[in-house]
Structure formats: structure tokens, C-alpha cells
Amino acid sequence: MAEPEGSSVTELLHRVGDDPVAFERLLPLVYAELRQLASARLRGERPDHTLQPTALVHEAYLKLAGGVPQPFADRGHFFRVAARAMRQVLVDHARARRAAKRDGAAALDAETRTEGPSLDDVIAVDAALDALAQRDARQARVIELRFFAGLGIEETARVMDISTATVKRDWLLARAWLQRELDA
């Protein structure tokens, strides 16, 4: 299906900083892709996770829309920023859930008996990822896109405009570094 004139994704991405309506027109054009990212990311979460893909997309959109609008260089740049927003939403959600548990919720509930990363794990990975970003920003982006956005090797390479070999190498090195940090 052809995009209506004046509403191509690339054009809207470039106009976001200058045209307040451009960001609003962008969401329907990229919504399906954002929902796929959210679904892929949430597949690895606990089965009883209270955040659904639609809610994750909407929360990430609100984070993106809430800041000072900046133009995006291209689709890859937009999806990298969207992946970071999803990461922030998931970490904020984990922190809120952990705080609620500390404030008197049952010590052992269904969440502690199910598979998937714990709230503490999500928060620990977020802190370690921030440290990795100080050491190697590209490796941190690879982890962010693969872990928090659920992208595959080829998709990550395309979004970052790097080779799949580079993504594989960064993925292996960054995962090993993160594992050491998390085990320390």
C-alpha cells in the first residue's frame, strides 16, 4: 500500500523537530513495527507480567512524545530511540513493582515462582547496561536492541547500519562483560 503524499515515514522523521503534527502522524505508520518489537521483548518476560505489548508501545510513545521533539536521522535512529524508551518503561515498571512489594505485598507470590527475569534482574541489567554504555556505546546499543527490543541479529544490523558479523561479535563480547558485571 502506498503511503499518502507528505506522510512517508522518512519525511515525518525528519520533520518531527519542526512540525508538531509530524510525530502524531508518525505513530500510525510505525505502530505495527513497534508492537512487534514490544511483543518480541515481552515474550522473554514472566508469564504473569502485567505489562502487555500494546501498553508497552503506548508508554514508550508517551515517553517519546513527552520530550522536546527532535528530528530522527532515519528509521534506524527512530527504532533505536524507541527501543531505549521501551527499556526505560520496563525498568520503571520493574522498580514500581519492586517498591510495591517492599511496601507490604506478600513476600512470596506467583511472580517469584514463575520463569523469566525477576524485577531485580531487570534493574541490575539496566544498571550494568548503563556502565557498558560508558565503556562501549555500540555494544550497549546492540544489547538494548536485542534484549529490550527483542530484535534478531539481522534486524539489529539493519537498524544500526552495521554488519551482522559486527552485531554477533558485539553481542558475544557485551553479554560476556555483562555476565561478569552481574556475577560480581
In a domain, residue 4? The reply is: no
In a domain, residue 72? The reply is: yes
In a domain, residue 51? The reply is: yes
Over the stretch 38-90, which tens digit does the pLDDT of each residue have? Answer: 887 777 666 666 778 888 888 888 888 777 667 788 888 888 888 888 888 88
In a domain, residue 78? The reply is: yes
Please measure the distance between the N-terminal and C-terminal CA atoms of the chain and give it in whole angstroms: 52
Q: How many domains does the chain have?
A: 1
Task: State the residue range of the domain holding 150.
Answer: 9-183
pTM above 0.75, yes or no: no
In a domain, residue 110? The reply is: yes
In a domain, residue 163? The reply is: yes
Helix, strand or coil for residue 177?
A: helix
- Burial, 70: exposed, middle or buried (Cβ in 10 Å; 0-12, 13-18, 19+)? exposed
In a domain, residue 2? The reply is: no
Over the stretch 20-48, which tens digit does the pLDDT of each residue have? Answer: 788 888 888 888 888 888 887 777 666 66
